[in-house]
Amino acid sequence: MAQLTDDDEGKQVVNAEGEQIGIVESVEGGTAHVNPDPGMTDTIKSKLGWGDTDEETYPLDAENVESISDDEIRLQRL
pLDDT score recorded for residue 52: 60
Distance CA 78, CA 50 (A): 13
Query: Domains (ranges, CATH) in the chain?
Result: 6-75 (2.30.30)
pLDDT in tens, 36-60: 887 776 777 777 777 665 678 889 9
pLDDT tops 60 at residue 6 = yes
pTM of the model: 0.83
